Amino acid sequence: EAANQTGGAATQVLSSSGELSRQAEMLRSQVDDFLRDVKAA
């Protein structure tokens, strides 16, 4: 039972880290766009 719970927790951590990575990449892209617009103004 403990092994199953540990495996489930590990799966959730992996999923969460993947989602966080995706969001960080999106934020990086938005910041790059913003800075490009500021430089162009």
pLDDT, tens digit (0-9, with 9 covering 90-100), for 1-36: 899 999 999 999 999 999 999 999 999 999 999 999
| pLDDT (0 to 100) of residue 28 | 99
Which residues lie closer than 8 Å to 14 by C-beta, 6 or more apart?
Answer: none
Residues spanned by the domain of 16? 1-41
| pLDDT (0 to 100) of residue 15 | 97
| pLDDT (0 to 100) of residue 37 | 98
State the Cα–Cα distance between residues 2 and 13, nearest whole angstrom: 16
| pLDDT (0 to 100) of residue 9 | 97
The number of domains in the chain is: 1
